[in-house]
Amino acid sequence: MASEQELLSTEIVNRGVVDGSGPYAGSLNFSVRVRRGMPDFLSSVKLKYVKLGYTYLINHGYILMTPLAVFIIGAGIGKLTWEELRSKYDATIVISFIGLITVLVSKEKFIELAKASGNFSDSALSFQYHVLKNSGIGEETYLPRSVFMPGHKITLKDGREEAAMVMFGAVDDLLAATGVRAKDIKILVVNCGILNTTPSLSAMVVNHYKLRHDIHSFNLGGMGCSAGTVAIDLARDLLNAHPGSYALVVSTEVVSFTWYTGNDKDMLLPNCFFRMGAAAMFLSNCRLDRWRSKYELKQLVRTHKGMDQRNFNCIHRKEDVEGKQGLSVSKDLFDVGGHALKANITTLGPLVLPFSEQFLFFKTLLSKKTKPYIPNYKLAFEHVCILAASKKVLDELQNNLELTDEYMKASRMTLNRFGNTSSSSVWYELAYLEANNRIKKGDRVWQVTFGSGFKCNSVVWKALKSIGKPKKTPWAED
């Protein structure tokens, strides 16, 4: 268990000289502010997670045999711009659709619309403005227009329209890019944290694209920003059970249902960060698809800390005293997230680290030193895509993982351009790397996600070829 020193950080404030004529007059004076921060999770290692990593290594046969090939063929990522939609819809429909459903917001516009909605007190507006100012989010992100309508209560119709817009836009691009026919899709996994309707979002996809009657369809809900990795894991298992199949994975979040109209500060944070977005991916275990696939799925490690009550309560949906629903974010988030990540990367290490790094780790471990050697995880990956939650989260993770600015660029650029799009965020980051010709054959990409529960998940992809800028990309004009 981490010591109290690991969980707290200090800052000297209010320096000065004592005034007056008392016994302490003229002496130096200062105060120390103590605050919670992310634990230094690279300073200690729990051996049970190391053991778990090597158990994965042995059980999955990574040493003796090549893992079952599961390839990602392509990815389509929804972006709500006129240029993106113009080639797919009749122009008159696009103008009406965008006008009714979305609004492009800057920080100032956000506060202006929030104030006009009449839902927030002056204190709540001031708090949101302060958070936005330091959020790392840029001036052109998307929110559903319905959340700002004065006197409007969000309906299921609002949620379904938002979900349809972002999901179908991403899937349309994916089908066009890969040439895969809808009737050839055998597995469908859709994840969305908050909106769970009847029929489900996965049923909406089946209905819209007229998928086959024997489709293996799954709808994941309530699993937070890490649900996209969970969806990939489920798709992989289903592909193992159904060889020669295509799996469609769609990741999104319906922001109109995460929106909070009250004044509790711990529930206002999601308003400031969550933005509209979606991603769609095809996975296949057909050998003939290898030549046109972009990536091969190499490792996937999931860590769940929900057995601990503090972890379980860290992010949860609740009602305030006025009965208004929203997502509550605990002050323990950084501590909880840090320990979840420490457990996850300790398990992941034996699967991805070079033998030299593992040797040094065990050499110091067996010598009974106080602190074992902490492997350099940058040697395992050429690219890192960390969930673009907020600037503070990215700052803490960069510091603790000792990552360079170059490793963090995709995450920071995604946060600035699109905000926190929840489970689809890491796919916007991968699209950024592709759009800037960063992905070369053999490169390894580490995607790290966090979610309520509390969960931390990692997935590692290997590029099967060098990837140039795609014709369809959410980074078209950037």
Q: Which of 60, 152, 304, 316 is catalytic?
A: 304
Rounded Cα gap, residues 462 and 444, in angstroms: 5
**Both 325 and 213 in a single domain?**
no
Give domain status of residue 347, yes or no: yes
**pLDDT, position 163:** 92
Task: Tell which of 265, 292, 319 closes a domain.
Answer: 292
CB 332 within 8 A of CB 446: no
Give domain status of residue 478, yes or no: no
Give domain status of residue 136, yes or no: yes
**Both 205 and 323 in a single domain?**
no
Residue 304 annotated in active site: yes
**pLDDT, position 355:** 83
**Both 305 and 365 in a single domain?**
yes
**Both 303 and 286 in a single domain?**
no
Give domain status of residue 269, yes or no: yes
Q: Which of 119, 191, 192, 225 is catalytic?
A: 225
Q: Domain containing 302: what range?
A: 298-463
Give domain status of residue 56, yes or no: no
Task: Tell which of 240, 269, 292 closes a domain.
Answer: 292
CB 275 within 8 A of CB 429: no
CATH number of the structural domain spanning residue 239? 3.40.47.10
Task: Tell which of 277, 292, 307 closes a domain.
Answer: 292
Q: Which residues of the chain have pLDDT under 50?
A: 1-7, 9-13, 18, 24, 30, 32-34, 42, 61-69, 80-100, 478
Domain count, the chain: 3
**Both 87 and 232 in a single domain?**
yes
The per-residue pLDDT for range 175-213, each reduced to its tens digit, is 988 888 999 999 999 999 999 899 999 999 999 999 999
Give domain status of residue 45, yes or no: no
**Both 334 and 277 in a single domain?**
no
**pLDDT, position 471:** 81
CB 349 within 8 A of CB 377: yes
Q: Which of 219, 271, 344, 420 is catalytic?
A: 420
Give domain status of residue 363, yes or no: yes
Residue 383 annotated in active site: yes
**pLDDT, position 388:** 92
**Both 164 and 196 in a single domain?**
yes
Give domain status of residue 104, yes or no: yes
**Both 261 and 327 in a single domain?**
no
Does the pTM exceed 0.85?
A: no
Q: Which of 191, 314, 383, 457 is catalytic?
A: 383
Q: Which residue has the tokens 């055998």?
A: 186
The first and second tokens of residue 83, run together, are 């240029």
